[in-house]
Amino acid sequence: MRIMGNNKVALVTGAGRGIGKSIALLLAENGYDVGVNYNNSEEGARKVCKNIDEMGAKSLCLQADIGKVNEINKMFEKFFTEFGHIDLMVNNAGISKFAPLLEVEEDFWDRITSVNWKGAYFCTQRAAQNMVKNNIKGLIINISSNHKGGCWPNASVYASNKAALTKFTKNAAMELAKYNIRVNAIAPGYTDVGWDKNDEVFKAESKIPLKRFASPVEIAHAIIYLASKEAGYITGECLNIDGGALLPVVPENNLN
């Protein structure tokens, strides 16, 4: 049983399910108290918090729509009231929706961009402000996507957001380095977050060089590495975790 108050503190957005859930649980296993943000996945977030508490760490469920800055502000107020400071910010929340360029409407563009790009920006800002105030050598990790470098159908909005998030990672790393705050990104590829194995998406599995999807916990382990002292000299970087999905030069390339 860990002694409450001696752990480092992390906030993970979109942690009620999928990759965010695995990140929150693995952080708790590795000595963090964790703020678990969710928007609609309340049941999942409550289970994550319960599991964290059972590990002997401390959790806090935080409902907030990351696409709205006023809700981000309220979330951080609750977080800091409970924990006082932050050591690690993981900007995981995102919307994965796709539409043909010629059919995208403003509401679609605004909603995806507000969560995937604006939300991560202002969560980074709020976390960094607290780190600077408390003289914490903190870490911010943005969950990007291999869409930042590849072109999939109907992904003009989603992919552009992930490319912006990845570039923002570098700018933020440069600005915050003088405060000993590191900023990095992780770019997952196809990740099995509990889809039905008969889903159309699994048709891509055979075309991935490693012939499988990632598991959410594999993405989470990258967070643990980047948060370790062994990674203390890494900042402004983006780690691709996609099984080599972007390696083939053309779709017809047979790597076998």
Q: In what order do the strands lie in the sheet with 32-38?
A: 59-63, 32-38, 8-12, 88-91, 139-143, 182-188, 238-241
Burial environment of residue 199 by CB neighbours within 10 A (0 to 12, 13 to 18, 19 or more): exposed
Provide the CA 225 distance to its chain's centre, in angstroms: 14
Q: Residue 188 pairs with which residues in a beta bridge?
A: 241
Of the candidates 32, 38, 158, 190, the residue annotated as catalytic is 158
**158 is a catalytic site residue:** yes
**What residues act catalytically?**
158
